[in-house]
Structure 1
Amino acid sequence: MDSKLSGSTVHRLHVANAQRAIDSSAQVTNNGRVDIDLESGLCKTLSLLVPPDSKFDTEPSQPAVQSEPEIPLPPPDTAAGAHSIRLNIVIQVVGSRGDAQPFVALAAELLRHGHRVRLATHDAFRDFVDGAVPGLEFFPVGGDPAELMAYMVKNPGLVPSWGSLATGDIRRKRKMVAAMLEGFWRACVEPDPATGRPFVAEAIVANPPSFAHVHCSQALGVPLHLMFTMPWTKTRRFCHPLANLSARGESGVPRGVANYVSYMAVEWLTWQGLGDIINDWRVKLDLEPVPFSEGPGLTEYLKVPFTYCWSPALIPKPDDWPAHIDVCGFFFRDPPDFTPDPELTKFLEAGPPPIYIGFGSIVIDNPEALTTTLLEAVKSTGVRAVISRGWSKLGGDQVGNEDGNVLYLGDCPHEWLFQRVSVVIHHGGAGTTACGLLNGRPTVIVPFFGDQPFWGDMVAAAGAGPAPIPQKQVNATNLAEAIHFCLTREASDAAQSMAARMRSEAGVVSAVASFHANLPLEEMRCDVLPHLASAWSVKTARGCKPVKLSKEAAEILVAESKLKRGDLKRYQSKPTHIGLRRWDPVTAAASSLAVTTAGMVTSAADIVVKPIQAFSQTSGPQHARGAPDKRSPSSLEMKRILDANIYGRPAALDVPGCPSPWAAGDRQEEEEASRAITALLGSASGVGNFLNHWAKGMLLDMPLAVTEGMRSAPRLYGGEVYDPGPVTDWKTGGRAAGKNLAHGFAEGVGGVVTGPVRGAERDGALGAARGAGVGLLNFGAKMSSGLLGLVAYSGQGLYLSARAAVHRDTRRMVEDAMRAEGEYALTAGHGKGLDIDIRVVLEKFSRIVQGVDGAADGERG
């Protein structure tokens, strides 16, 4: 199979083909991981979407460790020194304490740069975060990490086991994800729970499993930066950590292509499981749902900056990752102050350094059996051991074993303990792995799920430990063999060599430098107070560029009557537009028609199904005779409710102050009437949704899809495609329509003239004929797109403007929060690093208005 595929082949492949290939070929093994057959339709179809690059096709599926890799320097920190900017940064993290701990180290470095930092994560980590770094704020987002870890142990891959389906684990997990999405949004806009100090995020840092990040970023219009300890970006260099590549025989798919495809498969499966939850939540934020074809790989499509928090000495950055992705090194916090218990001190001093065994926040089904296995392995190797109880409570309430060579331990900082042990045995969390290697300790990894097998393979590839032992396969024999391997000189030397290279890195410093380097600083700076981020914009004169104002500067100018509050417009420093990519007019029209038809069919079904559901419901306890009951609506209320449902607005059935015409009637008649109204409302909403889907699909989506398909069609046969820019309102819609028509006419006519000439220069008469044909095709496609786009782009812009005018609750909430923070800075904020010289603000704004000091050339400082 030719790996150098033409661009036309790439863009001709429809997304539906990829989806069918995944459904039929991405299977789940008995440990929950995704098993991808290299000979299946998945690889053979999706490989057509892989960018042509044969450089990695002969590489193995697991990354090889370079002996002496070049350690890259941090990117230039353009937000440091005299040009510093102070931001409200929210860090969104999902996972175990080991997932949250590296971000505490990141937060400490961000605080050192003068930022205000809020760490939003599970409620269970409140005490850990509150006492970690002075000035770091904590915001609880819900979700039980212990339950999440228990679920992951049962379902270590992406697809749940039958046991989890039967016991309702999936439903509970989906509810947990929905609650955390809402919690992460509140973390972006709500005051500090402890102090009440207002907060509106001006930048977001997140790990990918938090899932809310890109959507919060879009709702606020602020920059997003992802950071993670696990490969999440497509590469030919190695397979996705959650995927297994296999083949029944000699596969025709190059290994590099198969590695790349593994990321695509995992992205599709993840979106299949969570896409509906995310889109339901987006509606609450007044955002349109993400199309199913765009949900997988959304952050890569948007080119969101990404920093990977692992050592480049262990895994160098793949050559096929773009410039906005960095590998900066592990995140290490400053060692905490720690005084060991007397029992621990006595045990460490009683003999040679013990080995360490611990599985942290992993919740194990049978901790007693695992404890027995550990004790047998320790006894057979003759070593001393410190066993961390962890969340699974290994060892129960015991202090040690009968031989006195084992000590059970509670919470103890790894930074302190790993300096005093000889070998570390753990689950393979990135942070624990990094701490062990930094201290030069040979490592045995017993992975349970997620990226843990990946880190086990990396440690083994470095020679610092044996091959990982999956937790379902661990026994006293293979664990003892692993301990013996770690006690060899070869393993110790490899671990010490890795430690020496890791000590030359500054992971957290490099990550913060990467964060600053990827900020759109000039778009973010306030024109009056350049060290603060812009939140508002105001036009001071017709034809002049709007002036960007921070929350604090805007409040001063309003208070001093230099501006009216109504003149302020919300400013977005990093607007996000999620478009629907089109490849050709045929698939574009078919896709749009399919989506419209699906919506109409579902709505038509609701016309019948919802009344049936209403009448089939049985009376609950609340309807028992004598129990309090809600009143049914009056005729005026019912008309309002019907109107609201037809136009898609929610309405309450129970309106205080309106007498019920059935108040004195029989309870049974009242219940029947209530069901009849519910059935009528459900049927009316189905009719309204049917008409909405038909009108939007046929009058807006279909013309736009064909326009975009015709505009993109020249790419199929080597032509150039002009991008008129995103359509976000009626102004950008009209602008895009005009640009698309002008460029379509100019490029179409120009292609007819220049195509034969250029073809003749390359291939003579045959080239001239080919050029003439391409020119005519381009002319037809571009002119058709230009003419149809006059209606399509303009109509889409009008629709989006109308939608924004109706769905404005989120915008108003954010604006209220920004005003509250600005007011706080001028009152309660004094003495807390928020003091601002009002005279400086007034003088600078006056110079900008008079044209003496242009906004684009604002002072820095």
Structure 2
Amino acid sequence: MILIPPPFSFSEEHEENPDDLPPPPYQFADSTPASQLVKDTADVTEDGRIRVDLDSKLARALSRFIPDPPDFSSWMPEAPKTVPWSVKLNIVVQVVGSRGDVQPFIALGNELQKHGHRVRIATHDTFQDFVTKHGLEFYPIGGNPEELMAYMVKNPGLIPSMKSLRGGEIQRKRAMIAEMLDGCWHSCVEPDPQSGSPFVADAIIANPPSFAHIHCAQALGIPVHLMFTMPWSNTRAFPHPLANLKNSGKDPTTANYVSYSIVEWMTWQGLGDVINEWRNSIDLEPISALDGPNLANICGFFFRDPPNYTPPPDLDAFLRAGPPPIYIGFGSIVIDDPQKMSSLLLEAVRNCGVRAIISRGWSKLGGPELENVFYLDDCPHEWLFQHVAAVLHHGGAGTTACGLLNGRPTTIIPFFGDQPFWGDMVAVAGAGPKPIPHKNLTVENLSEAISFCLSPQASLAAKEISIKMSTETGVRTAVSSFHAHLPLENLTCDIFPNQPAAWAYNRKKKHLKLSKVAAELLSEHMKVDIRKLSVYEPNPVIIETHYYDPVSSTTSAFVATQVNMVEATAGIFYQPYKEYKAGQARSEQRAATLSAANSFSDSQSIRSSQTFKDNGEGPSRSRSPEKGKEKEKSTGGAMALASAKSLGDFYVKTFKGMVVDIPYACAEGLRNVPALYGDEVKSHGNVTDWKSGAVVGGKRFVHGMGEGLTDIFVQPYKGAKEEGALGAAKGFGKGTVALATKTTSALLGLVAYPGQGICKSIRTAVKSKTRHAIMRARHVEGQYLLRVANENRIDHARVLADFDTLMRRE
């Protein structure tokens, strides 16, 4: 048996701690073995998925370093419980993709609003009307989804074509990603573009392709929840939708499981530098290539409620004029040759003798006026699919879900991404034929697919799926899961229990959590000094580099140090050159401006030239030697300063690498050695500043020295109790290794951990632009919310009394 999502009420959700994550409600589909599904998908080569060779050196190497995420295959959900939620949050929902990607989050946003939350959808500019007409706030993050869809059709996989490389499309897409990352950050802290009302996010919901989610959450210290329209959490039931497996061997379930991590790893290799450069712009440290892909897992599914819709007269007349038509449409897909595709579709419709509704979509499909064909511009699928006999489309998750929810047999013509995966799922369930990749589409195989969809067995299979799906409460389940995973105790203000805490007030051993309104009100009455409040983080996100063994850890730190040193050395010569070129450009610009000004004044000069001659003088526009020297000195000074900065950067990076980074990596690698032979490695906390660095260094020294010196006796004793003489021999080996590794790690840690903490404290002090921006944004929103609260006659006296009570409490 295989497990598939129920299947088709699509959005997947995630809370930052994957160990507590409730996964998608999988159901048994049929008796088809998982190995058969692997076999079926492994032959597809041009659908945008990654061919993963499990016997390759890369896969074997990655399997050693990629940590095992939780396996959700056997999890079965409980019925969602709707519980009142008291804390009213500012929630930003970040979505990158097509209309089908945005639509489920509109359903989610409307459901969140019922609980009193303020919801902002942050997505591409083109979806502004789509979002706002559903009563949700909108924030534009940039990016052109139509251009992105066209690119994906040309380059369905992660590896772009040579034509795209030569055409510069890759750089444009990377620039688009950088633009959207920046837009996602601003969506967390900027006022509403329409009303101007201040907004600072208290929680983030996002789909994985937005990429900014967990990094924005780290900068703000707030919860993040990921949701998506395809399986994204490791499962043994089937491979990642973007992976084609090769050499999966006798255990395809393990291959399925590993494929998710490998796809994530490969995606990070293409975008990691862009993300790290953006992280630096918001004062976050870079993430290593091994840690970047393992920051999140996702699960969960839901629908939006059917919209109120009245069809236009021509569509209504067409539906009434004959038997139910089939639906054909490719939504947001941008096809290279729409005219050719339109002709193919019309020919297949004629061959089958059916009526059809053809959605024009972003490709602007069309053709001659025919009695049995209706060309559709825009119509909600939730309404339309109740009136058709079958649906044929690209396999977007939302369209697939909607068709099957209405019990309509489905043919999927995939272009890229997860679309072949949904095509396989539909075929396995018997609700449609095997997917037909768009490049292989012909009149003949499309005609066969239409005939299959109109067969009684396909109709019966689709209706069975519809019955299962109609029992789901996806949106309410998503909201309940979101609420269940929020750190409620950490979120709540101590003065206003229904408001999220934004500020930390620490005085006389008292620690209070204050909302934006509470802080402004108390400041107004001179109970607290707003300038001395610190940013409160209800859900700190700590991303630490993981070190798996002493050899790779020390080597990677050494190489990174060498690279930093080389870059800094190059900067000693390159940065002055940049300043020189910049100075030349400024000089040329000044010269051009002066030339234009002189040309303009020439007519005036001619009229006064005789006067100058009479006085023995002449007009002169040449710059004085003093000014020339001043400009040369200015450029020379900038060049010298740039060289000095690079030299200083060289010394700083060299010192940090040799004294802190390499010893730290070695200490962590040695500390992790017991994990290599299956023993538990104790955690003594994270290093976030100089205080925590000193604490962690002290703890690890005490425990490391103690365990290293005693394991030589304890491990043989434990081994003898479990396995006799053989166990004692193994224990002696473990004890010997522990004596060398744990004691060395403890000694190195005395310097490495405090050093790492000092570096983090210095970086926090220097890189404070983002933190100050967050403080200003929260302060502005607090003033705005206090004005609104005063209009509602908030009881100031009660608030002040509650504050005094809390300050007196032991």
- TM-score bucket of the superposed structures, by smaller chain: 0.7 to 0.9
**Partner in structure 2 of residue 289 of structure 1:** 286
Q: What corresponds to 2:801 in structure 1?
A: 843
The residue type equivalent to 1:174 in the other structure is R
Give the corresponding residue for 1:586.
Answer: 551
Moved more, 749-758 or 370-379: 749-758
- Which residue, 698, 701, 710 being the options, matches 1:738? 698
Contact 2:717 2:728 in 1 (8 A): yes
* TM-fit CA distance, 1:759: 3.0
In the alignment, the residues of structure 1 paired with residue 629 and residue 489 of structure 2 have an alpha-carbon distance, to the nearest angstrom, of 67
Are residues 1:471 and 2:459 paired?
Answer: no
Shift, 1:411, TM fit: 0.8
The correspondence for 2:252, drawn from 255, 258, 275, is 255
* CA distance in structure 2 between the partners assigned to 1:200 and 1:624 by the alignment: 42
- Is 1:307 aligned to residue 274 of structure 2? no
1:194 matched to which residue of 2?
A: 194
Deviation at 1:813, TM superposition (A): 0.6
Q: Percent identity?
A: 53
Report how far residue 481 of structure 1 moved.
Answer: 0.5
Letter paired with 2:389: S
Contact 2:47 2:420 in 1 (8 A): no
2: CA distance between counterparts of 1:422 and 1:496?
12
Which residue is equivalent to 1:648? none
Offset, 1:162: 1.3
From 94, 99, 120, give the equivalent of 1:92.
Answer: 94
Report if the CA contact (8 A) 2:200-2:778 is conserved: yes
Distance, in Å, in 1 between the alignment partners of 2:790 and 2:395 is: 46
Once the 2 structures are TM-superposed, how far is the Cα of residue 592 of structure 1 from its aligned partner?
0.6
Native 8 Å contact 2:516 2:778 kept in 1: yes
- Flag the 1:726–1:476 CA change in 2: closer, same or farther, 3 A: same
Which among 492, 511, 520 is matched to residue 525 of structure 1? Answer: 492
Find the partner of 1:34 among 36, 44, 50.
50
2:405 counterpart of 1:438: yes
Q: 2:147 corresponds to which residue?
A: 147
Give, in whole Å, the separation in 1 of the partners of 2:754 and 2:228: 41
C-alpha distance in structure 2 between counterparts of 1:295 and 1:570, whole Å? 26
4+ aligned runs moved over 6 Å, structure 1: 50-56, 613-622, 666-675
Q: Contact between 1:47 and 1:258, CA under 8 Å: does it hold in 2?
A: no
Q: Distance in 2 between matches of 1:361 and 1:55?
A: 33
Residues 28, 34 of structure 1: 8 Å contact kept: no
**Offset at residue 458 of structure 1 (A):** 0.9
Q: Which residue of 2 aligns with 1:367?
A: 338
* Alignment map for 1:133-532 (pairs within 5 Å): 134=135, 136-247=136-247, 252=249, 254-300=251-297, 306-309=298-301, 330-331=302-303, 333-395=304-366, 400-401=369-370, 404-532=371-499
Mapping of 1:91-130 within 5 angstroms? 91-130=93-132
1:644-655 alignment runs, 5 A limit: none
1:72 to 54, 72, 77: 77
Report if the CA contact (8 A) 1:440-1:497 is conserved. Answer: yes
Letter paired with 2:203: A
Measured in 2, the distance between the counterparts of 1:575 and 1:824 equals 26
Given that residues 709 and 743 in structure 2 are in contact (C-alpha distance below 8 angstroms), is that contact kept between their aligned partners in structure 1? no
Aligned partners of 1:582 and 1:709 also within 8 Å: yes
Contact 2:122-2:140 at 8 Å conserved across structures: yes
> Alpha carbons of 1:91 and 1:629: their partners in 2 closer, same or farther (altered >3 Å)?
farther
1:186 is displaced (CA, Å) by 0.5
The offset of 1:527, in angstroms, is: 1.7
Match of 2:707 in 1: 747
| From 749, 768, 787, the counterpart of 1:808 | 768
Q: Give the C-alpha shift of residue 28 in structure 1.
A: 12
Instruction: Give the 3 Å change call, closer, same or farther, for CA 127–622 of structure 1 in structure 2.
Output: farther
CA–CA distance in 2 between the matches of 1:199 and 1:55?
A: 37
Give the conservation status (yes or no) of the 8 Å contact 1:596–1:693: yes
Q: Give the letter aligned to residue 53 of structure 2.
A: D
2:520/2:783 contact within 8 Å kept? yes
Q: 1:46 to 1:52 in 2, by over 3 A?
A: same
Q: 1:105-140 CA distances to partner (integer Å, 9 max, x unpaired)?
A: 0001100011111000000000110101x3x21101
C-alpha displacement at 1:76, in angstroms? 5.2
1:672-691 to structure 2, matched below 5 A, reads: 680=640, 682-691=642-651
> In structure 2, what is the Cα distance between the partners aligned to 1:420 and 1:201?
41
Match of 2:654 among 679, 694, 712: 694
Displacement of 1:756? 3.5
Change (3 A) 1:28 1:371: closer
> How far, CA to CA, are the matches of 1:282 and 1:90 in structure 2?
19
Q: Answer whether contact 2:231 2:299 (CA < 8 A) is retained.
A: no
Alignment partner, residue 5 of structure 2: none
Corresponding residue for residue 522 of structure 2: 557
2:393 alignment partner AA: H
Moved more, 582-591 or 813-822: 582-591
CA distance in 1, matches of 2:50, 2:211: 20
The answer to whether the 8 A contact 1:150-1:362 is kept is yes
Which of residues 731, 735, 756 is equivalent to 1:796? 756
Give secondary structure in 1 for the equivalent of 2:447.
helix
Is the CA contact (8 Å cut-off) linking 2:80 and 2:476 kept in structure 1?
Answer: no
Does 516-525 or 119-128 show the bigger shift?
516-525
Q: Which residue of 1 aligns with 2:618?
A: none
Could you report, residue by residue, the CA deviation over 1:229-270 in whole angstroms, capped at 9, with x for unpaired residues? 1122233321221222234xxx65732232233223322221
- Report the secondary structure of 2:52's partner residue: strand
Q: Tell whether the 8 Å contact from 1:39 to 1:253 is kept in structure 2 after alignment.
A: no
| In 2, Cα distance between equivalents of 1:766 and 1:244 | 43
Contact 1:307–1:511, Cα closer than 8 Å, also in 2? no
- Note the alpha carbon deviations across 1:656-715, whole angstroms, 9 max, x for none: xxxxxx964599999987776665455444423322221110111012112212221232
Q: Secondary structure at the match of 2:199?
A: coil
Partner Cα distance (1:684, 1:171) in 2: 32
CA distance in 1, matches of 2:261, 2:692: 33
- Matched to 2:272, the amino acid is G
Distance 1:139 1:55 in 2: 35
Matching of residues 531-542 of structure 1 within 5 Å = 531-542=498-509
Q: Structure 1 stretch 605-614 or stretch 212-221: which is displaced more?
A: 605-614
Q: CA 1:53/1:189 → structure 2, altered by over 3 Å: closer, same or farther? A: closer
Q: Match of 1:185, as an amino acid?
A: W
d(CA) in 1 for partners of 2:703, 2:543: 23
Paired AA for residue 441 in structure 1: R
- In structure 1, give the amino acid aligned to 2:430: G
Q: Which one-letter code corresponds to 2:693 in the other structure? A: G
Distance 1:28 1:414, change over 3 A: closer
Return the offset for 1:776: 4.2
CA distance in 1, matches of 2:490, 2:522: 21
Residue 291 of structure 1 and its aligned partner are, at CA, apart by 1.4
Bigger shift: residues 809-818 or 612-621: 612-621
Unaligned runs of 5+ in 1: 1-25, 57-62, 64-68, 301-305, 310-329, 631-661, 853-861
The change in CA–CA distance for 1:843 and 1:508 in structure 2 (over 3 A counts) is same
> 1:603 maps to what in 2?
568
SS in structure 1 opposite 2:546?
A: coil
For the residues of structure 2 that align with 1:723 and 1:810, how far apart are their CA atoms?
Answer: 30
SS for the counterpart of 1:139 is strand
Contact 2:65 2:290 in 1 (8 A): no
Using a 3 Å threshold, how does the CA distance of structure 1 residues 719 and 433 change in structure 2: closer, same or farther?
Answer: closer
CA contact (8 A) 1:71 1:505 kept: no
Correspondence 1:612-761 to 2 at 5 A: 623=588, 626-628=591-593, 664=624, 680=640, 682-761=642-721
Structure 1: which amino acid aligns with 2:804?
S
TM-superposed CA distance for 1:181, in Å, is 0.6
